[in-house]
Structure 1
Amino acid sequence: MNFKFGFFLFFFFLLSCGKNIQDENLSIFRYNQASGIATLDPAFAKDQATIWACNQLFSGLVQLNNNLEVMPSIAKSWEISEDGLDYTFFLQKNVFFHAHPIFEKERRVVASDFTFSFDRLKSKELAAPGAWVLSNVESYKSLNDSTFEINLQKPFPPFLGLLCMQYCSVVPKEIMKNTNFRENPIGTGPFQFQYWKDGVKLVFRKTPNYFEKEDGKQLPFLDAIAITFVKDKQAAFLEFIKGNLDFISGIDGSYKDEVLNRDGSLRGKYKGKIILQSQPYLNTEYLGFLMEDALPLKIRQAINYGFDRKKMLKFLRNNIGTPAVQGFVPKGLPSFSEKLKGYNYNPAKAKQLIQESKFDLSTEITLSTTSSYLDLCEYIQNSLSEIGLNIKIEVNPPSTHRQMVATSKLSFFRGSWIADYADAENYLALFYSKNFCPNGPNYTHFKSEIYDLLYQEAVHEVRDSIRYLLYRKMDEMIMEKAAIVPLYYDQVLRFSQPNISGFNSNAMNLLDLKKVEKTNVTNNQ
């Protein structure tokens, strides 16, 4: 009775309408999710909002740390065969699913639970968007309760990174087969489901027997997480400034200049009041050419040389991002190299290339974009007009633009690529000839036998150092052929309250709250 009564009080505190919770022992982390959350099923965790929530509730075999290195999670260790085909995982024996009445006692995670979870992820009946992560898997099986084996069809060194995705989380078959999973999202994560009112509030409470520790201390440090769903980003930011939210991710254009200086630093009125964290985000913004109907090589190179990326970022994005003067692979990945030669601003070189090409300067070049990136495209348009190129901008709705890019209807288009997993192969696959859209992500229809051979060699190379060299050669080739115009490598901004500590992330912009601590909680709740 005392246990149930205690959780009733805890639940009451979380749902209290007042701003102050009169219990200084409760540490509740609050954030807003403007886009809403449609599901807590990890097999459907394809958008950031769902990934963030599922990362609190579920665990997989392995996980990424702040440096995008693969670390143990439910698997305490693993072995990979010399040919890169066989992965054997050795599971911890102290990992339990969250408590639920359907379990007669503590339910320990065993290897067969991963067999069930992977079978479910692949099932055609479920039609999960994450099924693709197992497309290269030949077979998998539990050798015993604490040993799980996966066999690949062909070597794929980034495979461990795929297993870090929330899609590969373990779920219990008893819950899946006998309950409504939406109301019972039972996992093994640092927090467990408490309450969900659609479009209003979602609450998680700490898992009392979570298996991970930090310096001998039981994780997580927080007592609970409370998520609200205010759609107005300005209203959410005001709640953050008032101390009613503990963090805001990103910054909306409507209040960007109110908060940040041109150089990306906090304005004076906010210094000391909020904390700004900035780090690379695995997203490359670029312009792409359809190579089957492309402008001449020297004109594509001239476009790359013809505008100042640093100035563009400073005045249009408050320096949120890094000028893409290397290649397509973004800053933040282990294989990224500052030494890779891309394109700097060089209008004299651009004019020389135009002259050498004997290009008809009366030719109108149509650049297709969406309204969100119109300012960038207009900046590029004005810069290129100064070197003699006639750029016309065509603006389409986002859904129309995506469809036209995917069906090769645009000769010159704005694009962006956000990593699904933390390996450069995720970016370089966009230029592999067998990935031509609409059946793959090669939207430029770039084709090179040499590039394809390098790609095939790289995806079979298990030694990171050699694979990274192959990646750089491929990236250099894309730049030499000017199949794209890299604009900038994105950054993620996080604003948090001064009483929040241990709040770290990685270049995938993952929300990991298990090591976060919140002090003086009564003052901000």
Structure 2
Amino acid sequence: MKRTFALALLGTLIVAILSTTVSANPKSGGILRWRIINDPPSLDPVTSNITTATRGTNLYLETLVKTSPSGKEILPCLAENWEVDDDSRVWTFHLRKGVLFHDNVLGEPALNGGREMTAEDVKYSFERLVKMKSARVFFANKIKGYQELNDGKVSEWAGVEVLDDYTVRFTLDEPFAPFLAVLTYPSFGVIPREDAEKWGKSFTFHPVGTGPFILQEWKHDSIASFRKNPNYWGKDDIGVKLPYLDGVDLMVIPDNGVAYLEFKKGNIDVLPDIPDEYYQELKDGFAPYFQERPGLNTYYYGMSQTGEPFMDNLKLRQALNYGVNREGINELVLNGRYQPAKGVLPPGMPGYNDDLKGYEYNPEKAKQLLSEAGYEKGLELTLYFNNNPRHRSIAEAMQAQLGELGIKIRLSSSEVGAHYDAVRRGDFKFFRAGWAGDYADPDNFLYTLFCSDNFGPKGNYCRYKNDDVDRWLKEARRETDPDKRWELYGKAEQQIVDDAVWMFLFYQTTSLVTRPDVQGVDLAFLGDYMTELTEVWLDR
């Protein structure tokens, strides 16, 4: 009965959609309402390193360069252009002139007074990440002098030099193939010293940048409201000042059913990461306004290498991998929208290997390995996950499948910020996590998540160490020949899979659906949270 009613209502919506006439010319004005599942845990580039936070930071913060929506190019942003020397160690960036910082935040004057951004601000922003121990600043650890600054031996980053107001130079210790891609990561956004030093750790509640929108109001667990930056530097192809929108409201709605109803009522304009239970209805009923593409996202369960039961028990880790029917969960729980994962790198990532040898569903082999691992009578585990309805559904399906092998799984959920804090500390032995690409290079997945230099907050949450893998990953960072790099990454990834440090589950897709009067949304290759909104407009 409920489904019949939903389909009937959807049919009414389809008629309304098809009868809508869309203007060919962009219009200025209006507030775009965008659903997010959780309150952003941070808006400070130092700590905003998960996707829920990045949706907010990308509205007010900008980097020197950015990734194109297709993921195939790196484009100018705060830097108009750049050059690199012959051995790929010295990078010089020329900044746009006339780019102003926001002159207010939360309706109050900003301390910087809306002044012009300069190369000194770039240097300060990079150094602040190191001094405040940002979890992701190590992406740029090849810049000369990183370790000395990180250790507190010096007060300035030697490899970041201000040549003049509009020129900044980075000098690397050695060639580093992913460097330009690394600079697209949102943590490397540029902020003003005055406001950052005034607020310190509270800058997250008073963020100031150069981006197209300014934080006006933040009602935690309800709404984060951003409004148009009237002094934004960007213009469209015919010279119209951007953004078109008057603002963006990030609507915090944890419940998928509530979010779906609000979208149907027209109270939400954009529904990203479409809930599984409404996926097919929205895909069919809003076809012209539905977008989906393979994402740079890998979904996994981590198995800690710091103690029992997983440390030094390869057969147990392999048994869990063989004991899960990924295809079945994908079809029954996820509407077939994900791809069962063989390994770490998702499709679309340079270096992805479709011939990787992963783990098929083989319950008999899982039972045999479980017995050889010393658990012929089974065992009990607790799986910790963050409280997203999809994560619970997947966990419950996995719980039922492993239960047939004599493995009893208890489920424990918590809020996303608390969950990841515990994961980074190493509190959990068995935990759900995912990795969304920060930049389009395999270094971001393989080096970040599996090099032993990166235990804990840096990304290697399982505390995995393999000397061969460490060596191959570090060689790949220095190698500028793509074919040789992919070969090194291929060896490393296969070894990681063989070591079964994760339960390799799914490569995720990224998706969103908009109301019919929302125009100009181009779903980003890196995910909905990276989708730019400067040229989005409302036909109202």
Using the size of structure 1 for normalisation, the TM-score is: 0.77
Contact preservation (8 Å) 1:288, 1:414 = no
List per-residue Cα deviations over 1:214-270 (Å, max 9, x = no partner).
444445352312315454534343222111221022245xxx42x234xxx6365x3
Residue 380 of structure 2: aligned partner: 366
Q: CA deviation at 1:314?
A: 1.1
Distance in 1 between the 2:181 and 2:113 partners? 33
Contact preservation (8 Å) 1:220, 1:513 = no
Give the alignment of 1:137-286 within 5 angstroms. Answer: 137=143, 138=145, 139=158, 140-173=160-193, 175-176=195-196, 185-193=207-215, 195-196=216-217, 198-199=219-220, 202-208=224-230, 210-218=232-240, 220-227=242-249, 229-231=251-253, 233=255, 234-252=257-275, 256-257=276-277, 259-261=278-280, 266=282, 270-271=285-286, 275-286=290-301
Count of matched residue positions in the alignment of Structure 1 and Structure 2: 479
29, 32, 51: which one aligns with 1:29: 32
Q: Percent identity between the aligned chains?
A: 28
303, 321, 342: which one aligns with 1:288: 303
Distance in 2 between the 1:330 and 1:438 partners? 22
List per-residue Cα deviations over 1:352-404 (Å, max 9, x = no partner).
x9389866663324343136656545544554566xx4312133344589747
Distance in 2 between the 1:408 and 1:176 partners? 32
Residue 74 of structure 1: aligned partner: 78
Root-mean-square deviation over aligned CA pairs: 3.9
Letter in 1 for 2:538: K
446, 456, 470: which one aligns with 2:488: 470
Contact preservation (8 Å) 2:358, 2:497 = yes
Contact preservation (8 Å) 2:33, 2:251 = no
Question: Cα 1:59–1:230, aligned 2, differ >3 Å: closer, same or farther?
Answer: closer
Q: Give the gaps of 5 or more residues in structure 1.
A: 1-23
295, 302, 313: which one aligns with 2:330: 313
Residue 451 of structure 2: aligned partner: 432
Contact preservation (8 Å) 2:384, 2:431 = no
Question: Cα 1:364–1:499, aligned 2, differ >3 Å: closer, same or farther?
Answer: same
Contact preservation (8 Å) 1:377, 1:393 = no
Residue 58 of structure 1: aligned partner: 61
Q: CA deviation at 1:302?
A: 4.9
Contact preservation (8 Å) 2:54, 2:186 = yes
Q: Is 1:45 equivalent to 2:45 in the alignment?
A: no
Letter in 1 for 2:354: E
Distance in 2 between the 1:30 and 1:428 partners? 36
Question: Cα 1:304–1:202, aligned 2, differ >3 Å: closer, same or farther?
Answer: closer
Question: Cα 1:83–1:267, aligned 2, differ >3 Å: closer, same or farther?
Answer: closer
Question: Cα 1:462–1:503, aligned 2, differ >3 Å: closer, same or farther?
Answer: same
Q: CA deviation at 1:191?
A: 2.8
Q: CA deviation at 1:143?
A: 0.8
* SS of alignment partner, residue 282 of structure 2: coil
* SS of alignment partner, residue 262 of structure 2: helix
Contact preservation (8 Å) 2:29, 2:537 = no
Give the alignment of 1:296-445 within 5 angstroms. Answer: 297=314, 300-324=317-341, 326-346=342-362, 350=365, 354=368, 362-370=376-384, 373=391, 375-377=393-395, 379-380=397-398, 382-383=400-401, 389-398=405-414, 403=422, 406-407=425-426, 410=429, 414-429=432-447, 430-435=449-454, 437=455, 441-445=459-463
Letter in 1 for 2:503: V
Question: Cα 1:397–1:517, aligned 2, differ >3 Å: closer, same or farther?
Answer: closer
Give the alignment of 1:80-95 within 5 angstroms. Answer: 80-95=84-99
Q: CA deviation at 1:319?
A: 2.5
Residue 122 of structure 2: aligned partner: 114
List per-residue Cα deviations over 1:40-65 (Å, max 9, x = no partner).
54444334344222222222211122
Contact preservation (8 Å) 2:123, 2:162 = yes
Distance in 2 between the 1:133 and 1:356 partners? 38
Using the size of structure 2 for normalisation, the TM-score is: 0.75
* SS of alignment partner, residue 55 of structure 1: helix
Contact preservation (8 Å) 2:28, 2:537 = no
Distance in 1 between the 2:420 and 2:128 partners? 34
* SS of alignment partner, residue 530 of structure 2: coil
Q: CA deviation at 1:503?
A: 0.9
Distance in 2 between the 1:131 and 1:438 partners? 14
Contact preservation (8 Å) 1:162, 1:421 = yes
Letter in 2 for 1:145: D
Letter in 2 for 1:55: N
Question: Cα 1:260–1:204, aligned 2, differ >3 Å: closer, same or farther?
Answer: closer
List per-residue Cα deviations over 1:14-69 (Å, max 9, x = no partner).
xxxxxxxxxx8633322244533576544443343442222222222111222334
Q: CA deviation at 1:488?
A: 0.7
Contact preservation (8 Å) 1:291, 1:483 = no
Distance in 2 between the 1:152 and 1:406 partners? 30
Q: Is 1:453 equivalent to 2:453 in the alignment?
A: no
Letter in 1 for 2:526: A
Q: CA deviation at 1:501?
A: 2.5
Deviates more, 1:330-339 or 1:239-248: 330-339
* SS of alignment partner, residue 266 of structure 1: helix
Contact preservation (8 Å) 2:177, 2:480 = yes
